[in-house]
Structure 1
Amino acid sequence: MAGGREESVNGSWKKQVDDIRKIFEFKEILGTGAFSEVVLAQEKATGEMYAVKCIPKKALRGKESGIENEIAVLRKIKHENIVALEDIYESPTHLYLIMQLVSGGELFDRIVERGFYTEQDASALIKPVLDAVNYLHSLGIVHRDLKPENLLYYNPHEESKIMISDFGLSKMEGAANDIMSTACGTPGYVAPEVLAQKPYSKAVDCWSIGVIAYILLCGYPPFYDENDSKLFEQILRAEYEFDSPYWDDISDSAKDFISNLMQKDPEKRLTCEEALRHPWIAGDTALCKNIHESVSRQMKKNFAKAKWRQAFNATAVIRHMRRLQLGSSMDSSQHRKQNLTSMPGKSQSVDVSSVNRNDCSSEQHTRPSTVTTIITGSK
């Protein structure tokens, strides 16, 4: 990438610039967070497109360790199914994380738009996620916020690979006395030991993958209640079912795979490496029966019309790149629906110690959405 003077800061590196817009042409905002916004940007020297996370330094005061942790994690990672940190720039007022641009949209969006979807498809989706998280775990990195919203398609092509994003809550396992204990993540996907505020390990990611696999096969979450305390009680007890009729046509192998990931005792839970060897992933036990109608109907009922803002607006990327005519690769996406209000909702990650109930649209929902939030911590 072009431009900037590079220097080391606390073991990381940043390129010093007076004005980032001398290097990048900012296009449109893709999303906003509590302390930052993500902007679609084109590097002037190369014409390459990136997603730039813009963080005001004044918003970082007192939180420097958090962003340094995120940068340290991202700089350590290089995997084809993980969104890459390409560069870091620093101006007098801002920190800029130059991220690989992914433009294929979210996992649920793609499933809803399909006309044919099977257990085999779900297995094929989970396998690269397991592989990528297994890679993270081999490096001593725990993601801590795995959920469908953080699984994005690289491009709009039908055969596009899936990418894991958002490492804002990730943590590198450190010394023996540096034990993870902060309750962070998103309640519907968080492991019981996290809600119990007990010390936990990388096994929390395996639980989350089990929850994602569950939703991929039925379209609704395993834990659901409009009352926060009841929702937490269900998760703490690992209380979920394979309800009829939604699970009647799902294989016993798929249920066994999920049950071994959503095991209350983290010591008994499958690791990613073990899960990759499970017959539902490595064998031929995943069924090829079309379950699209039931799954997509439930996804639309349980994950649509939420009122919070998107963390990443892939539709804006596609629209803008079409307008700029930056390649024929986007042409195949023109038939895709762009009405985000009919697509799955978003969930946020904030602190369990001050959880507030969200007023989500749940009209005609067969099951209420699990949209409560938990606060992040430093550990």
Structure 2
Amino acid sequence: MCEALKNKYQLFEEIGRGQFGTIFRCFHPISNEFYACKIIDKRLLADSTDRECLENESKYMTLLSPHPNIVRIFDVFENEDFLSMVIELCEPNTLFDRIVNRPLPEREAASIAKQLLEAIVHSHRLGVAHRDIKPDNVLFDSRNNLKLADFGSAEWFGDGRNMSGVVGTPYYVAPEVLMGRDYNEKVDVWSCGVILYIMLAGIPPFYGDSASEIFESVLRANLRFPSRLFRSISPTAKDLLRKMISRDPSRRLSAEQALRHPWFLSGGVATDQT
């Protein structure tokens, strides 16, 4: 652990654990505020890819902070063995915990999707694609504001370059990523669309019994709206889903276009953040 970290913050109980690091609740006596401290043991990083993800997370979170819908980073400490990031303290339950086996009303799904798209639009305007948007990486603060987290797989495209490399999570990864082609930032819109589908239907649009079967289903991209699940879902919501989960990236909405879709403006759907 970095001495500079211990000199500035008081560490308390463990609140999370990952493959390479541990998250603690911490306190800053001068500001009288609590934060989360993610301490990563660099000795556990297996290869250059892991080290690159570690560098990306702090670099891109710093670039994108502050934004009301992105987890904010406040301090970074590093020595030979550890990298520590002091970040915004969020609630323990993720979006995954909220939606597992439970569809949400359109009003609630719209509020969450709007905040997630606000985070994506901000990232894309600054030339950063997240590339691993999934419910596990969507957090909430104590006021129930959405916070997009985990930028370890993020990539820079701000100079107009396309991206490459298979990254992401089976249910949420865009088909062009799996095809091994170059792709653009609209892979994030696809992932957001899949999350919206799950929020409304309670199940993913593409699924299988194994990762390979899920990938095959994603590549087919046969988007359906089973009547038993979508009977009460508005036509406007389904129109937005079709345009976000479009197999052809050139036909897929950008994050800004998705945010301007009539579903977010339609009567009876609350989209204001609280």
| Alignment of structure 1 residues 101-112 onto 2, 5 Å | 101-103=89-91, 105-110=93-98
Q: What residue number does 2:231 align with?
A: 248
Say yes or no: does 1:169 pair with 2:153.
yes
Mapped contact 2:126–2:158 kept (Cα < 8 A): no
The one-letter amino acid of 1:163's match is K
Point out the structure with max Rg over C-alpha: 1
Q: How many residues align?
A: 267
Mapped contact 1:123–1:281 kept (Cα < 8 A): yes
User: Sequence identity, in percent?
Assistant: 37
Q: Would the alpha carbon gap of residues 68 and 187 (structure 1) be closer, same or farther in structure 2, given more than 3 Å must change?
A: same
Mapped contact 1:39–1:52 kept (Cα < 8 A): yes
> What is the alpha-carbon distance in structure 2 between the residues aligned to residue 47 and residue 171 of structure 1?
34
Q: 2:257 aligns with which of 268, 274, 277?
A: 274
Q: Give the Å deviation of 1:179.
A: 3.5
> What is the alpha-carbon distance in structure 2 between the residues aligned to residue 196 and residue 112 of structure 1?
29
Q: 1:151 aligns with which of 115, 133, 138?
A: 138
Higher deviation after alignment, 266-275 or 40-49: 40-49
> What is the alpha-carbon distance in structure 1 between the residues aligned to residue 2 and residue 196 of structure 2?
44
Mapped contact 1:19–1:91 kept (Cα < 8 A): no
| Alignment of structure 1 residues 1-379 onto 2, 5 Å | 18=3, 20-60=5-45, 62=48, 63-77=50-64, 78-103=66-91, 105-110=93-98, 118-155=105-142, 157=143, 160-173=144-157, 175=159, 179-284=162-267, 286=269
Stretches of 4+ aligned residues off by more than 6 angstroms: none
The one-letter amino acid of 2:157's match is E
Structure 2, unaligned runs of 5 or more: none
Higher deviation after alignment, 220-229 or 167-176: 167-176
Mapped contact 1:251–1:286 kept (Cα < 8 A): no
> What is the alpha-carbon distance in structure 1 between the residues aligned to residue 22 and residue 76 of structure 2?
15
> What is the alpha-carbon distance in structure 1 between the residues aligned to residue 182 and residue 99 of structure 2?
35
Q: Give the Å deviation of 1:228.
A: 3.1
Secondary structure, aligned partner of 1:69: helix
The one-letter amino acid of 1:84's match is R
**1:176-212 CA distance string (max 9 Å, x none):** 5x53111011010010001111111100000011101
Mapped contact 1:146–1:209 kept (Cα < 8 A): yes
Secondary structure, aligned partner of 1:187: coil
> What is the alpha-carbon distance in structure 1 between the residues aligned to residue 133 and residue 258 of structure 2?
16
User: Larger relative CO (CA 8 A, sep 6+): 1 or 2?
Assistant: 1
> What is the alpha-carbon distance in structure 2 between the residues aligned to residue 207 and residue 153 of structure 1?
22
TM-score (norm 2): 0.88
> What is the alpha-carbon distance in structure 1 between the residues aligned to residue 156 and residue 3 of structure 2?
32
